[in-house]
Chains A and B, each alone.
Chain A
Amino acid sequence: MRDLSIAQRSDVLGSDNEIPLTSNVVYQTLKYRVGSTPAADGWAAEVGAGMDRELALYKWMAYESFRNGTVATFYPTQVAAKMTALFPGRTSASLTACEKITLNNAVWAALDVYEQGFGGSVVSGLWGKVQAEMTDAIAMDQTTLVRGPTGLQAASKSATIPQGDETIVINWKKDIETGGLSVSASYYRWLAKEALIALKGLGTLIRLSEAEFLFKVTNSNKYPIILNEVGYYFYINSTALSTEAVKVDTAKTVAADDVWVPAESEVLLKVVAPVKQMGIITWLVMGGQPTAAAQKLAADVWSQYKDGTPTWIIDIQMKVTNDEGEDMQVKTYTLEGTGVA
């Protein structure tokens, strides 16, 4: 009664005359009767945040044992190690209820702080399932998967998507309902897709391909000839800026090896040329085009290229000699066509 009398004469928490929660009779009960300072501290934290004292007491009387038993199921390696250490020669099935508690406590104590944090989240996550089981069907876009604290919308927030934006949710739902994706596939897509969309502005850095050409070279001489230092310059005309076509450097390559063409014969030369939009832009800028115009022309050329049937303008420069390396001629050919039969 003395303590009660003192308590009644004391002021609220936070004042000079306060009785700290660590001196509260419930805190002391948890600490000394239940025997757990963490439980007592857990109670104090909850009560300090306004939770009902009695309900918090019941929670912290039960919580640690329940949590440890639940968490142990996630750590079979640690369970096996602690079984060996604490109950050598025994099987877990043979343990008494009290021994299982001892085992679970030992497993919990062996986890690092992050793993213990995960263990706490497992227990707190249980109540969402319990609530869902007693609640009738809710709308798919109002589920925890989408709206929960770590749900799709919260997890995928970025600088490009403002708070409260529904784009991701709408698209996630659309991909399920009309796109043929499963819930999980659409979830995984939209968890990552926003970040990729944010990179779309860098698309010009990423657009690339390889164009493959076959050139037929015919040697009418009665002796073999040698082609060397063959340079290939590929262009596509663009009218992206005006009706007047701009001849845009699209790809370039040089063959360093000599090519023998037999007498009175023909050969097919295979040339693979890299097409890179960033390279196209660079060449245009170096050729005097303003950056914006260069980007526009490059995008148009890339579009023609990607559509598959551009009209190519090709300059080929080469040195030609006879088979003894004599009679050298420097030739430039200009070809035009789609290369499609």
Chain B
Amino acid sequence: MSRVLRVAIVFTLIAAIVAGGLLSAGCGGSKKAALVAPTVELFQYSRGATVDFDEATINSAASAEANVKYGTAKAIYHSVWAANQETVANQMFPAPYWKGDGVTTQYVMLSSGDQTTVDATIFATKLTQAEQDIVTNAVSGLFSLYDEELAAAKTISQNTAYMILYGTVSASAASAWQTDATAWMAALNAKAAADYSGKTFAQLTYAQRQTVMGAVFNKGAGAINPEYAFWRAMVETSFRNGNASARWPDLRDTKVAELYSGSTYAGLDCTQKPVVDAAVWASCNQTAVEDQITGMFNLAEEQVDGVMSDNQNVYYTTLLGLGMYAPYLVTDNSSPTAAANNWLADVTGKAHDYDSSADFYAELKYGQPQWKGTLTQQYFGTDNYDALSTDAKALIDQADKA
């Protein structure tokens, strides 16, 4: 084979190879094997958490602890909520998440859950730690009362009311309350036994206990209950002493001079005045003071109770007494009842608020001065009204009037 022929064969082969390659390159994409659909199988399944309204879900959701806590906080610190709830609500639900009138968030328009969220923020950020503790303690008080109710009775001297009186008023005030409280419990147990087949008060239902307590107390007409016994123990003595002090202003001023030299009664403070009042009481006609207090409640009763016939009126009975036992002191002593009946004739047909004092004085031999002298005798042991101090005269004038 000539050299030229050998070269020609090589070029031909190369050309064939190149051509074959070009042909192959030009048609290769459309020659991919036909697609076989994949196989699919369920490999694994797992159930996610479920939200269901079953017992477990309800129990996990049912807790009013936050509502009680924040409700209590709102009750104690209402002004804090009033000042902050709208601001905080708008901070927590800003645009575009308004829940209100469309341009602001309004606390009242929030759902209960959202309100609780706002409440929690106010509680945590607007109350001091001391105030938060007070709320917590107040909530705990709910359950401490429960514990107390389930416990056996304490001795009376361990009672909260007793200890308050003992610590802030006096041992005798606490003791007076103790007496009342003991009688109260005895009355409750007696009533329970009588009305509920021999049960004790503690064995009654809540409603039965309320019924028994209401019946035994009877708005003060029955046994005095622990609350009113507490109030009475707090002030009864000071009220009595204060009446003594008001009744004898001259004696009061003497005691002021003895105890607080250089001061006047009006200038004494709230702790000094009771000391003076007690000193007056200790050295005065105590029966007269007690009568005076009784008289005040009698007047109060007459002012409230129904109309009394005029022949039972205090003016009538006073004139009747004078006519019978001191006829020389009445103008008309033609009979024991003459003066009283004259007054009765004067007032018959008159309006209820008619001032019949002039008719009364007219039946006295020496008129109103005689009556003031009588009162002066009762109050100060002398009938010389004119010799009284200004304060003492004012007291007699008041007694004449009241």
Contact = CB atoms under 8 A, between A and B. Distances in A.
B125 interface: no
B377 to A, nearest CB: 15
Contact of A221 (B33, B79, B150, B219): B33
B269 A98 contact: yes
Given A115-B78, A147-B205, 10 more contacts: A7-B303, A13-B304, A74-B76, A76-B130, A127-B226, A134-B154, A188-B62, A218-B40, A322-B35, A329-B35
B382 interface: no
Nearest to A33: B242
Given A58-B239, A130-B226, A219-B38, A115 B79 contact: yes
A76 B239 CA distance: 32
A66 B227 CA distance: 12
A214 B53 contact: no
8 contacts: A58-B231, A98-B269, A114-B79, A134-B184, A135-B201, A145-B142, A188-B63, A322-B35
A53 B300 contact: yes
B325 interface: no
Interface in B204-255: 204-207, 209, 213, 219-221, 224-228, 230-232, 234-236, 239, 242
B207 A147 contact: yes
B334 interface: no
A93 interface: no
A116 B272 CA distance: 30
Given A9-B307, A10-B353, A219-B38, A129 B160 contact: yes
Given A55-B220, A76-B131, A192-B63, A144 B149 contact: yes
Nearest to A150: B142
Contacts of A192: 61-64, 67
A118 B300 contact: no
Interface string A308-341: 1000101010001110100101010101011111
Interface string A64-90: 001000000110110000000000000
Nearest to A140: B150
Interface stretch (B16-24, B93-101, B308-316): B308-316
A246 interface: no
B63 A129 contact: no
B126 to A, nearest CB: 10
A191 to B, nearest CB: 4
Interface stretch (B1-9, B41-49, B102-110, B280-288): B41-49
Contacts of A340: 44-45
A209 interface: yes
Contact of A1 (B40, B50, B269, B402): B402
A138 B306 CA distance: 44
A213 B145 contact: no
A225 B302 CA distance: 108
B356 to A, nearest CB: 6
B270 A129 contact: no
B153 A118 contact: no
Contact of B58 (A139, A197, A213, A312): A197
B75 interface: yes
Given A134-B226, A140-B150, A144-B146, A17 B352 contact: yes
Given A2-B357, A316-B40, A133 B154 contact: yes
Q: Which 5 A-B pairs have the closest CB atoms?
A: A52-B220, A339-B45, A147-B206, A203-B53, A193-B62
A210 B47 CA distance: 7
B90 interface: no
Contacts of B160: 126, 129-130, 133
B78 A112 contact: yes
B202 interface: yes
Interface stretch (A18-26, A237-245, A280-288, A289-297): A18-26
A211 B48 contact: yes
A255 B201 CA distance: 73
Contacts of A207: 50-53
B145 A129 contact: yes
Contacts of A216: 40-41, 43
A212 to B, nearest CB: 5
Interface in B367-402: 399-402
B111 interface: no
Contacts of B59: 189, 193
Interface in B298-345: 298-308, 310, 312-315, 318
Given A52-B220, A59-B231, A314-B42, A138 B150 contact: yes
Nearest to A54: B297
Contacts of A136: 152-153, 200-202
A306 interface: yes
A200 to B, nearest CB: 5
B156 A134 contact: yes
A183 interface: yes
B179 to A, nearest CB: 13
Contact of B202 (A138, A210, A214): A138
Contacts of A96: 269, 271
A98 B51 contact: no
Contacts of B402: 1-4, 25
B306 A1 contact: no
B124 interface: no
Contact of B235 (A6, A58, A125, A314): A58
Nearest to B228: A55
B355 interface: yes
B352 A9 contact: yes
A326 to B, nearest CB: 8
B303 A97 contact: no
B275 interface: no
